[in-house]
Amino acid sequence: MRVAVVGLGLIGGSFALALKDKGIASSVVGVEANAANAEAALRLGLVEAVLPLNEAVEGAELVALAVPVDAIPQLAIKVLNRVTENQIVIDMGSTKEELCEIISQHPRRGRFVATHPMWGTEYSGPEAATVESFAGRAVVICQKEMSDSKAVERVEDIYRKLGMTVLEMNPEQHDLHTAYVSHISHITSFILSTTVLEKEREEEAIFNLAGGGFDSTVRLAKSSAETWIPIFMQNKYNVLDVLREYIHQLNLFRKALEKDDTETLKQIITKANEIKKVLHK
Amino acid sequence: MRVAVVGLGLIGGSFALALKDKGIASSVVGVEANAANAEAALRLGLVEAVLPLNEAVEGAELVALAVPVDAIPQLAIKVLNRVTENQIVIDMGSTKEELCEIISQHPRRGRFVATHPMWGTEYSGPEAATVESFAGRAVVICQKEMSDSKAVERVEDIYRKLGMTVLEMNPEQHDLHTAYVSHISHITSFILSTTVLEKEREEEAIFNLAGGGFDSTVRLAKSSAETWIPIFMQNKYNVLDVLREYIHQLNLFRKALEKDDTETLKQIITKANEIKKVLHK
């Protein structure tokens, strides 16, 4: 199939590579507003051509939107304005409520499948794109009932061929759950980084001492502001809710430590250990 | 050389395996108060025998203390009471001020080398011990000037043969730096875990959605209370200092998000991104 990917960063670029690698796409073209990223995408072979949006959409059976989430809703409308009943449009964004509302009344809403492949790394841009992406992870599809069933089937088939497990949620559930299992992790990493950089003036000490524990906990702090601020803003109320609870529980821990209350510390840590049950490894 | 390891958990067990693997130890015996752990250590071949402390110390050229940090200072005194001028004692604990004070006036202080190999995993107990440990990481030695120079040389040689880089710090520096690059990471992971478990009632959603980001950020939450509460207690003032700063910076982030202040969010995340410079990969 002929595919157009709009936004040739980590997600869009990796999707393009994976579609070619699995033989799903016969050709992939891109749309990319940033000239340096467009040039890099061509040089890295992520896409065969970078075209204006109109041209890219016109020739594509599948159009995938992989731009920051604040740009997705209006872009989705523009693309739906241009597609026929034989084309499929998907987005790959990390938030879903806003998007699903904006496209809800479009006459060709059925051609849109709202998806969130739960894969990413802390790196961004076309250089970060990798063919070894998506496999083994979940992809969430929202509001299947609003999409034409043949379009949903086709999109599910593509994601399954990439090695993903397809889940269904409504947009509200999706944004709530991702606040807990994805968005808050990025905030805790960003702030761990700023705290350590603020307090630990001897950067060499960090470099010399940081072992696997610190590296893995702070890894997500390398993630880009361009990707994540729109996600936090679009999912503001869920993110604030979990952030307030996180700060509350940190304060309970701090007070227990201040009072040498080892019994409470033990209860907290023993509770925290239960995460073993719900992690994959 | 003949080695006695006191405490056959993750660290002591891994040290025993690594010493044999590199041909550094001709024999390794253990001391382990917990009967099940002693039995497991023998079954797993971590040590050749589990002996009472007196017997184990008597036959050893090197005695390594790998028990929780609250037990190390008094154990260090007991072992120093029993060693001769031909034996070396090391500890492998994560805090150093308390220990170094307690042993400071002992007549055989020179036989003790205070070390902290900066390696560990979120797992504990003899079953968690692995021969692929320590290599590529740093080991901190504190108060070298208080140890006999031949003893320091021997210990540094052993750690270098395990593939470690030897660093020197005073106990105060050590405890300060480890609060930043190790202890706080464990607290942020514990609390991320309790927050998600508290707020996200649908554990299946966590399991299905958790990708690489959440897994790595929360990984340390599997760490044991037995190991970590004594570390937090012994390093209480440094840990509280960095914890208060962490909570303060989280609140700045929260307020910026509440006010849609994307400029401040961008400043915070851009600052956080600087951690790239001091991470190894």
Q: Enter the tokens of residue B34.
A: 């917990």
User: Of the candidates A106, A17, A4, which has an alpha carbon nearest to the alpha carbon of residue A55?
Assistant: A4
% of chain A exceeding 90 in pLDDT: 87
Q: For the segment B178-197, what is each residue's pLDDT rounded down to a tens digit?
A: 998 899 999 999 999 999 98
For residue A224, the chain B residues in CB contact (below 8 A) are: 269, 273
Pick the more confident residue, A261 or A211.
Answer: A261
Residue contact B217–A216, C-beta within 8 A: yes
* Cα separation, B30 vs B164, whole angstroms: 23
pLDDT (0 to 100) of residue B213: 78
Mean pLDDT of A213-224: 90
Distance from CA of A268 to the nearest CA of B (A): 7
Residue contact A275–B197, C-beta within 8 A: yes
- φ, ψ of residue B261 to 5 degrees: the values are -85, 80
Pick the more confident residue, B76 or B197.
Answer: B76
Neighbour-count burial of A86, counting CB atoms closer than 10 A to its CB (0-12 exposed, 13-18 middle, 19+ buried): exposed
Residue contact B232–A257, C-beta within 8 A: yes
Q: For the segment A172-214, what is each residue's pLDDT rounded down to a tens digit?
A: 999 999 998 899 999 999 999 999 988 766 767 777 777 667 8
Q: For the segment B124-138, what is each residue's pLDDT rounded down to a tens digit?
A: 999 999 998 999 999
**pLDDT exceeds 70 at position A267:** yes
pLDDT (0 to 100) of residue A88: 98
pLDDT (0 to 100) of residue B198: 84
Tally the residues of chain A.
Answer: 281
% of chain A exceeding 70 in pLDDT: 97
A195 vs B121, B198, B249: nearest CB: B249
- φ, ψ of residue A130 to 5 degrees: the values are -140, 140
pLDDT (0 to 100) of residue A216: 85
Establish if B77 touches chain A: CB-CB under 8 angstroms: no
Mean pLDDT of B129-151: 95
B214 vs A182, A239, A265: nearest CB: A182
Least confident of A70-79, B91-100, B205-214: B205-214
User: Of the candidates B278, B142, B140, which has an alpha carbon nearest to the alpha carbon of residue A210?
Assistant: B278
Distance from CA of A84 to the nearest CA of B (A): 33
Residue contact B246–A191, C-beta within 8 A: yes
pLDDT (0 to 100) of residue B263: 98
pLDDT (0 to 100) of residue B212: 63
pLDDT (0 to 100) of residue A21: 96
Helix A236-258 to helix B236-258 angle, to the nearest 10 degrees?
A: 160
Establish if A150 touches chain B: CB-CB under 8 angstroms: no
Whether the Cβ atoms of residue A185 and residue B214 lie closer than 8 Å to each other: yes
* Cα separation, B243 vs A24, whole angstroms: 49
Residue contact A270–B119, C-beta within 8 A: no
For residue B177, the chain A residues in CB contact (below 8 A) are: 200, 202, 205-206, 209
**pLDDT exceeds 70 at position A280:** no
* Cα separation, B270 vs A125, whole angstroms: 16
Distance from CA of A135 to the nearest CA of B (A): 11
This prediction's pTM: 0.90
Q: Where are the beta strands (DSSP E) in chain B?
A: 2-6, 27-31, 49-50, 62-65, 88-91, 112-117, 138-142, 165-169
For residue A189, the chain B residues in CB contact (below 8 A) are: 217, 272
Q: Which of A94, A119, A194 to mutate to test the interface with B (most CBs of B within 10 A)?
A: A194
For residue B116, the chain A residues in CB contact (below 8 A) are: none
* Cα separation, A224 vs A126, whole angstroms: 13
Whether the Cβ atoms of residue A62 and residue A1 lie closer than 8 Å to each other: yes
**pLDDT exceeds 60 at position B281:** no
pLDDT (0 to 100) of residue B214: 85
For residue A249, the chain B residues in CB contact (below 8 A) are: 191, 194-195, 198
Q: CA–CA distance from B67 to each of B5, B118, B218, B230 (Å)?
A: 9, 15, 25, 11
Establish if A135 touches chain B: CB-CB under 8 angstroms: no
Residue contact B211–A118, C-beta within 8 A: yes
Domains of chain B: 2-169 (3.40.50.720), 174-278 (1.10.3660.10)
**pLDDT exceeds 90 at position B280:** no
Give the pLDDT band (50/70/90) at residue A64.
very high
Give the pLDDT band (50/70/90) at residue B256.
very high
Residue contact A120–B212, C-beta within 8 A: yes
Q: Which of residues 171-230 of B touch A (CB under 8 A)?
A: 173, 177-178, 180-182, 184-200, 202-203, 205-225, 228-229
* Cα separation, B249 vs B226, whole angstroms: 29
Mean pLDDT of B20-42: 97
Average pLDDT of the residues of chain B: 94
Interface size between A and B, measured as CB pairs under 8 A: 312
Establish if B163 touches chain A: CB-CB under 8 angstroms: no
Give the pLDDT band (50/70/90) at residue B208.
confident
* Cα separation, A209 vs A216, whole angstroms: 14
Q: Which of A11, A165, A234, A269 to mutate to test the interface with B (most CBs of B within 10 A)?
A: A269
Pick the more confident residue, A104 or B277.
Answer: A104
Q: Enter the tokens of residue B262.
A: 């994307």
B247 vs A173, A200, A251: nearest CB: A251
